[in-house]
Amino acid sequence: MKKITLAFAALLLFSSGCGWLYQSGAAENGTDLSDSEIYVNDFSYTNQHEETVTNEELEGEYWVANMVFSRCPTVCNIMTPNMASLQGDLETEGLDTTLVSFTVDPEFDDPEQLQSYGESYNADFSSWHFLTGYEEEEIETLAEESFLSVVEPDQESGDIIHSTQFYLVDPEGQVIRQYDGLEDDTEPILEDIGAVQS
């Protein structure tokens, strides 16, 4: 019953088009999700260096997550540069925050492909994991249950429908805020992270 309710809620929250999802209601300064009590599911995936990354390793720190894929012809070409800008600004502000990008195309995006993809955006891999090493069904479930989001193939375009949000996760693994990943203004995220880390 819970899964059905979450799936229905996700469908209400999202509108689709061009192989991606834009979550309505994500104000420029972010949307508070702390009352929703959404927690990231347990996971053990592989990053661009073929290292295992788990949710347990991220416990005790704030981290920012999103969903992309290297063959994405549309929104990922905006989201990933925005995440790279966020990484640079976090470093400038002295805010120690890990970034996690889950690929929604795990069959194609192996570690080597994701390393090449990250390098093309000058990602600093010391604090940014590009994760793969799971089946398509696993990322669909993770998106639905952990981020109230949807991952599914777009049969008409051959694209993959996925969220365009950035998600702030707290040290207990709760998703507490979301931001428009197509927005290049990093200040709202920096302010929120600075506030919770102070």
159 band by pLDDT with thresholds 50, 70 and 90: confident
Residues spanned by the domain of 146:
2-197
Determine what percent of the chain is predicted with pLDDT higher than 90. 79
pLDDT exceeds 90 at position 10: no
Instruction: Tell me if residue 63 falls in helix, strand or coil.
Output: strand
* Residue range 70-80: mean pLDDT, rounded: 95
Q: Of 116, 138, 110, whose CA–CA distance to 47 is shortest?
A: 110
72 marked ligand binding residue:
yes
Question: What is the number of domains present in the chain?
Answer: 1
pLDDT exceeds 70 at position 12: no
* Residue range 118-131: mean pLDDT, rounded: 98
76 marked ligand binding residue:
yes
Tell me, what's the pLDDT at 155?
78
Task: Report which secondary-structure segment, H or E, holds 67.
Answer: strand 63-68
Tell me, what's the pLDDT at 156?
78
154 band by pLDDT with thresholds 50, 70 and 90: confident
Tell me, what's the pLDDT at 30?
85
Can you tell me the distance from the alpha carbon of 115 to that of 18, in angstroms, rounded to the nearest whole number?
Answer: 26
* CA atoms in the 13 A half-sphere facing the CB of 31: 17
For 122, 170, 195, the CA distances from 144, given in Å and listed in that order, are 30, 18, 28
pLDDT single digits (tens) 23-73: 433 445 589 998 989 999 999 999 999 999 999 999 999 999 999 999 998
Q: Of 58, 92, 65, 63, whose CA–CA distance to 196 is shortest?
A: 63
Which residues 6+ apart lie within 8 Å of 97 measured at CB? 61, 62, 63, 64, 90, 127, 193, 197
pLDDT single digits (tens) 107-123: 999 999 999 999 999 99
CATH number, domain of 58, equals: 3.40.30.10
20 band by pLDDT with thresholds 50, 70 and 90: very low
